[in-house]
Amino acid sequence: MIDSPNVCVIGVGMSAFGRHAEESFEDFGKQAIDAALADAGLDYSAIEMACCGHAMQGITAGQRLLNRVGATGIPIINVENACATGSTAFHQAVMAVRAGVVDVALAVGFEKMQRGPLAADARLAAPSQAQRSAPMPEMFAEVFRAHSKKYGTTVEQMAMVSVKNHRNASHNPKAQYGIEVGVEDVIGSRMVADPLTLMMCCPTSSGAAAAIVARADFARTTPRKPVTIVASVLQSERAASDPLAFVTEINTRAASLAYQQAGLKPDDLDVIELHDCFAIAEIVHYENLGLCERGEGGKFVEQGLSAINGRVSVSSSGGLLAKGHPLGATGVAQIVEIVEQLRGESGPRQVRDAKIGLAHCQGFGGASCIHILAA
């Protein structure tokens, strides 16, 4: 079914996501890298290049982290692409191996974040919002209002996304909020940007994730069954006239290119990690990824089609809403979840017979990065 390219994931690892008040990014970053190396059965000396994703950790933070692992003189590239930072670091590692520049590359994402909302891109906000620095919840409240007006999407359907993702996170020991909640809990939580409540918004987080990619011939010499990368796509935005267009066009285009590159269709997917920074984002991304028709995203979650072992399992890790969202780490952590699912290693949240997985992140400002992996 798939013409396998020559790049595989041979090892993954991550830290727990949370506050990490007493740890530095070097501390939990090293945890993730050490775990990925152990998973691959490799010493750090086997890594020929490292792509380090971080958005807020300062200059040459990748070097500061990797010097804790071992100063081996390899090329170290620092990557920033907003929420798609980790995804872009992984994409760069894949491209380096695919091009034959190196045989083995490390992608690592890490971030230590403080509490409080991040500013949005002021181009996307109404004038009154722009004057208040346009925090991201306000922007996604606008996305909901536009989607609801056009398609009838409801607050209750948004709450169902959060309920599902928290339920999944309750089976993920690395998740920031591994608690089960109900629709009433989500709707009744503190209002952030009407109608988005606190539990419809992802938290700021700290944590790290790492993935090692290698040529297929090298991968066959390692102890774990490799997971093949059948598509890796990075796109930038085109002009968008409103918030809804800003979260649809770039992602729909990136998804189309990824399916074309992999020779697959949305119906072939078993498990998806997507950019559910707010509950409405997951609903819109169902549509962007072709899981349902435009405007049917609310019904998709309401009918249980995105639950574990539904039509396609979405955010099995708990997603950004419950697992957490350390900007630089998120995209690589999605790869960790997909790889473990395709290996059958996800325990109580395991997706039955998972063979094909997709990871998606959108970095506002803008970037969209999609990877498709196959067991």
Contacts within 8 Å (CB) and 24+ apart, 28-31: 28/110, 28/206, 28/207, 28/208, 29/65, 29/68, 29/108, 29/110, 29/208, 30/65, 30/68, 30/69, 31/208
Angstrom distance (rounded) from CA 132 to CA 213: 42
Catalytic residue among 83, 201, 277, 369: 83
Distance, in Å, from the CA atom of 289 to the CA atom of 94, rounded to the nearest integer, reads 22
State the catalytic residue, choosing from 166, 275, 285, 325. 325
Which distant-in-sequence residues (6+ apart) come within 8 Å of 57 by Cβ? 25, 110, 111, 112, 328
Instruction: State yes or no: is 325 an active-site residue.
Output: yes
Instruction: State the Cα–Cα distance between residues 224 and 205, nearest whole angstrom.
Output: 30
Establish whether 8 is a catalytic residue: no
Spatial contact of 279 and 158, defined as CB atoms under 8 Å apart: yes
Check: CB of residue 292 under 8 Å from CB of residue 299. yes
Active site residues per annotation? 83, 325
